[in-house]
Amino acid sequence: PSHTNPLRQVIVNTHSPGLVRFIHARDPGGLLIAKLVSIRSPAGSPTHALRLVPVIGTWRTNASGDAGLGLADLIDYLSPHKAHYDNPPGAQLTLLAQDDDP
């Protein structure tokens, strides 16, 4: 980085709900979620690729026309082992901004 070429992007790999809440509260368009997708290779065989998907309703989805992912998808992403939790029937997980009351 320099004065003529400032730092514009930082890539963070996280499963931290706190960090995702922090970034989402300040700039939802700053989040890209890595999603494994099935595609065809140049040879035509099925393979997998990692696609970075924006959050619904941000400038990234509006500019690209990409469907994006919602907050419910983020909760699933951040709780990969949620099947191991003993939640009561009807329990819901919620992402709260730092200013929100629980």
Over the chain, what is the mean pLDDT? 74
pLDDT range class, residue 84, cuts 50, 70, 90: very low
pLDDT exceeds cutoff 60 at 52: yes
> What is the rounded CA–CA span in Å between residue 97 and residue 102?
10
> What is the rounded CA–CA span in Å between residue 51 and residue 48?
10
pLDDT exceeds cutoff 80 at 33: yes
The answer to whether 39 touches 47, Cβ cutoff 8 Å, is: yes
Residue that wins the pLDDT comparison between 54 and 67: 54
Domain range list for the chain: 17-80
What is the value of pTM for the model shown? 0.57
Least Cα distance to 62 among 21, 29, 16 occurs for 29
pLDDT exceeds cutoff 90 at 47: yes
